[in-house]
Amino acid sequence: MAAVVAALLVTSAAGCSGPSGPTPGDASPTAKTITEIPSEAMLQQADLGTGEITTDSSPSFTIPTAACGGSGTGGGYTALRQTFGKYRFSNRTTDEAGNPAFDGEAGELVRAYAPGQATGYVNDLRDHASQCATGHYSGDVGDDTSTYSIVEDDFAGDDSLMWQRTGTLVNMPNQPGVTETNVELVGVVRLDDVVIVLYAFSEDMTGTPTSREWRVDQTQFEHMLAAAVARAAVLRR
């Protein structure tokens, strides 16, 4: 983790040369309000290894902007852009059926806030994530238990955190005795009044037929997060 954190810290500082601006979070009267986020501020295909950008619109999953069911809006944002893709950093190019295979899928959301609002969002998000209770859901697909934990804190930009959701599914009607575990990651980095949210889940199954696991590789995730921070640095004032 140390090398990636160092890269994030260097990247985050790259857009900070010249006269110092307002203290992060201060609603300075000279602060500019961002009303548009250009495509170059978002992850590009080259940032996904040998993966691909799939769409700028919402696919079959939603990027979580808060842990354990919070709204995560954090006040009024002035601009928003999303991008989604499939990432691949391994040599796994096809599955057993010969179809294209990827390490996982990722979604990035970049929000620009009115001056001073982004700080409150990240602070609220950290407080909420640190107090998440274990969640249980029972339905037609089985019994699902979700747990949340903060795995990194204050490692990049003006503020940042990374949390993990571990979901365990049991008692599936058509698969008795089978346990499925999904380990997902969400990274949040603030640059001035801009907040980057990166979410990823794995498509690479490991384990046994009765105990299957999909776990996001944290090194791969950190690589994409560092790239996202570098791209969004163009929005630095």
Q: Indicate the DSSP class of residue 60.
A: S
Report residue 5's pLDDT band, with 50, 70 and 90 as the boundaries.
very low
**Burial of 100 by CB count in 10 Å (0-12 exposed, 13-18 middle, 19+ buried)?**
exposed
DSSP 115-172: TTHHHHHHHHHHHHHHTPPPEEEEETTEEEEEEEEEEEES-SSSEEEEEEEEEEEE-B
Sign of CA dihedral 77, 55, 186, 210: positive
Q: Band of the pLDDT at 101, cuts 50, 70, 90?
A: very high
Q: Name the average pLDDT for the chain.
A: 83
Boundaries of every domain in the chain: 2-16+31-235
Question: What pLDDT score was predicted for residue 69?
Answer: 64
> How much is the pLDDT for 23?
39
Distance CA 237, CA 142 (A): 49
Closest CA to 190 of 235, 150, 220: 235
Q: What is the value of pTM for the model shown?
A: 0.84
CATH of domain 2-16+31-235: 3.40.1000.70
